[in-house]
Amino acid sequence: MEDTEIIDLFWLRNEQAIRETDEKYGGRCRSVSCGIVSDPETAEECVNDSYLALWNAVPPERPRFFPAFLFRIVRNLSFDRLRARLAAKRGGGEGERILGELDACLASDFSVERELETKELAAGISRFLHTLPREDRLIFSYRYWLMLPVAEVAARLGRKENTVKSSLHRSRKKLHAHLVKEGLL
């Protein structure tokens, strides 16, 4: 079924919309979530919560890129779960490692008052990602959007772990320079 037809079903408040969404994108939704929360059961819950969020968001929304809209919800709800786990210090695992990497790269003198709006920062990050060669961009996104372990990034992209690590190192340095240049850091 075409995405526009699925969106029409949501607008008609037809529950078939959820089944069609799951049929078409369920596998990838679970893959996105599982990468972040590292637990199939929690991932399943996140995907179900995402479908509910989607149901509540459409209408009034009519997403231009339906899958991107959906995957973003899945990713962010999964990240919320990870964040709760980190806050409770209940085995953040990969999340803790990722935070450690980023803390070193993002250290700044910014005060709380100058804390940026997330949207503004997201736009800056998007611009930065577009400047990277595709392979580096994918590696960066797999690590910090999907939050995958380095070994899994390497396996999924068919690269050596060292290649992935050095790409991430380069990209974080470029990110720092980019954010400074844009006045975001």
Partner 1 sequence: MKALHFLDAMGQIDDELVMEVVSSMKINEKGGAHAAGKKKNIVRIVLIAAILTCFLSVTAYAASDLIGSPEMALAAVEEELGVWEEMGIIVPQSPLLLDSDEVRVTRCEEERDLGGYFFHRILKPRYDVQIPREDGWLQCMIDMADGKIYEVAFTANADENDPAVGDAIEWESGTAWLRDNVCELVPEGQTLDELCALLCEYWGFAGYSIDFTNDVFYGYEDVQFDGGTLVSELWRGPYVTVYFEGDQEGVPMYIELQGFAYPGKSSSCLMIGTNHAVG
Residues that bind partner 1 (CB under 8 A): 26-28, 30-35, 40-41, 43-44, 64-65, 67-69, 71-72, 75-76, 79, 83, 86, 98-103, 106, 108, 110, 115-116, 118-119, 121-123, 125-126, 129-130, 133-135, 137-138, 141-142, 144-147, 156-158, 179, 184-185
Q: Which residues, in sequence order, are CB contacts of 8 under 8 Å at separation 6+? A: none
- Residue number with CB closer to partner 1 (137 or 170): 137
* Least separation in angstroms between CB 92 and partner 1: 11
146-to-8, 24, 87, 95, 141 alpha-carbon distances in Å:
29, 20, 19, 11, 6
- Residue number with CB closer to partner 1 (1 or 13): 1
DSSP state of 137: H
DSSP state of 108: -
* Least separation in angstroms between CB 18 and partner 1: 16
* Least separation in angstroms between CB 102 and partner 1: 4
Which uninterrupted H or E stretch holds 11? Answer: helix 3-11
DSSP state of 185: -
- Residue number with CB closer to partner 1 (8 or 96): 96
* Least separation in angstroms between CB 13 and partner 1: 25
- CA torsion sign for 89, 95, 98, 102 is negative
